[in-house]
Amino acid sequence: MRDKTKRTLMISIQQIKWAYHTRGFRVTTILADGGFECIRNSLADMCISLNMVSRNEHVPEVQRYIRTIKERVRAIAVSLPFKKYPPRLIAELVYNVVFWLNSFLHNDGIHPTSSPRTLITGLAIDYLKHCKIGCSAQLCKCMRRAIIHSDKGHQGR
């Protein structure tokens, strides 16, 4: 989000509500901290109740998820050959981590066989699109050369 103004918060929540609605879910409650108090009445107009935590507290489920994301981003970042990370790289790392966390089933998930990503977007992981390793094309070239060379060796015998 660009900022935490009432307008931006409402636009974001409407987008999320629409995404859930298109997949057959109904948003009835939002767990939040004090930063969302300004939109309580607007949410009530949308038939969404706002469940706020006490002052100086955070929603435990959200905090745990944020810690997991940070941990995974740091694990990737330490393997990169940079001393400083451009802001765009950090944003893409976070996007990548969230993508993969949401692509697999959760132990306490709401569906026994579908990932959160599949439930909300209707899209499953495509091995050819999402799971290729960058060097696989080079590996394939090397393997083809090896096969061609071994076939040539067998032809003369």
pLDDT in tens, 44-58: 999 999 988 888 788
Average pLDDT for 5-24: 92
Q: Is residue 157's pLDDT more than 50?
A: no
- Which band of pLDDT confidence, cut at 50, 70 and 90, is reported for residue 28? very high
**In this predicted model, which residue has the larger pLDDT, 139 or 66?**
66
Q: DSSP for 106-155?
A: -TT-S-SS--HHHHHH-----HHHHS--TTHHHHHHHHHHHHHHHHHHHH
Average pLDDT for 19-45: 91
- Percent of the chain scoring above 70 in pLDDT: 83
Pick the closest to residue 37 from 83, 12, 4, 15 (CA basis).
4
- Which band of pLDDT confidence, cut at 50, 70 and 90, is reported for residue 74? very high
What residue segments make up the domains of the chain, in order of their start? 1-58, 59-131
Q: Is residue 24's pLDDT more than 60?
A: yes
Q: Is residue 41's pLDDT more than 90?
A: yes
Q: Report the chain's mean pLDDT, rounded to a whole number.
A: 82
Q: Is residue 89's pLDDT more than 80?
A: yes
Which amino acid belongs to residue 22? T
Cβ(9)–Cβ(46) below 8 Å: no
Q: Is residue 138's pLDDT more than 60?
A: no
pLDDT value of position 112: 81
From CA 69, how far away is CA 79, in angstroms rounded?
Answer: 16
112 phi, psi to nearest 5 deg:
-75, -20
Cβ(17)–Cβ(27) below 8 Å: yes
